[in-house]
Structure 1
Amino acid sequence: MNRFLQIAIPVFVIGFIAGGAFWYLFSPLLIDRVVNEQLPSGITLNHARAGEFRDVDGAHRGSGKAQVLISDAGGAVLRFTEFEVTNGPDLEVWLVKHPDPKKSADVTASEWISLGPLKGNKGDQTYVIADGTDIDQWGSAVVWCEQFGVLFSVATLNPTEG
């Protein structure tokens, strides 16, 4: 019985830790977080820049629209509509100076600012851009995995007319 416990306890502990790590890393792939944020009513927002999310590779896919909207008072937001991206751990929304990053190294070689954690991997959502940020300097919006330094999806932000 003593020999059994010497083997069973370490196996159980290692299995428990490995199972927890596996669930942490791969459960986001099985669970969708759907968000449906509405824009605040009563303020006028003008389109400044816009783009479409695209796939980065076979494992990291994204679609939907990204728009930078500016209020008459001067504040700016980044708005995702019809948005969908592969879920993962520790995803964030970044504005990146590189206009069309194709891989993670393009993002890390460029300047970036974080707009905070991704609210959901599906649905309409809005992120506040800090006052004083010159939106014309930022070429793309990206969904970035902070924990592993991986690019999930990118939208090149082009100036809009009107």
Structure 2
Amino acid sequence: MTRFYRLAIPVFIVGFIAGCVFWYIFSPSFIDRVVNEQLPSGFALTEVRSGQFRNADGAHRGSGSAKVLVSEGGGALLRFTEFEVTNGPDLEVWLVKDPDPKKSSDVNASEWLSLGPLRGNKGDQTYVIPDGTDINAWGSAIIWCEQFSVLFSVATLSQPEV
């Protein structure tokens, strides 16, 4: 019987740890976080930059639009509409100087500004751009996995068509 326990206990421990690691890494792939934030009311907002999210690669997909909105008082917001991205651990919203990063190394080689954690991988959401940020200096909005340094989706920001 002790021989059984000497084998069963390490197998159980290794299996438990492997299961926890698997759940941590892969559960975001099949669990969606849906948000539906409304724009703040009472502000006159003007769209100054916009772009469409695209896939970073075959495993990291994104769609929807990103818009930079500016109020009369000078505050700026980054707004996602009809947004959807592959879920993952530790996702963040960044503004990046590179207008068209194609891979993670392009992002790492560029300057970036974090707007905070991604609230949900689906739905409309808004992020505050810090006061004093030169909006025209940032070429793209990206979804970035901070933990694994992986690019999930990119929206190149350009002047809106009139």
**How far apart are residue 161 of structure 1 and its match?**
5.0
* Secondary structure at 2:42 match in 1: coil
Residue 90 in 1 paired to residue 90 in 2? yes
Matched residue, 2:48: 48
Distance of 1:120 and 1:140 partners within structure 2 = 19
1:7-46 correspondence runs (5 A): 7-46=7-46
Matched residue, 1:140: 140
Aligned residues: 162
Which amino acid is 1:121 matched to?
A: N
Runs of 4+ displaced beyond 6 Å: none
- The one-character-per-residue Cα deviations of 1:100-147 (angstroms, maximum 9, x if unpaired) are 000110000000010000000000000000001101000000000001
TM-score by length of 1: 0.98
Listed as ranges, the gaps of 5+ residues in structure 2 are none
Distance of 2:91 and 2:124 partners within structure 1 = 16
Distance of 2:9 and 2:125 partners within structure 1 = 46
Identity of aligned residues (%): 75
Which amino acid is 1:124 matched to?
A: D
Residue 110 in 1 paired to residue 138 in 2? no
Listed as ranges, the gaps of 5+ residues in structure 1 are none
- The one-character-per-residue Cα deviations of 1:38-69 (angstroms, maximum 9, x if unpaired) are 00111111101000000111101100000000
- The one-character-per-residue Cα deviations of 1:52-92 (angstroms, maximum 9, x if unpaired) are 00011110110000000001110101000000000111100
* Secondary structure at 1:142 match in 2: strand
Distance of 1:11 and 1:43 partners within structure 2 = 60
TM-score by length of 2: 0.98
**How far apart are residue 160 of structure 1 and its match?**
2.2
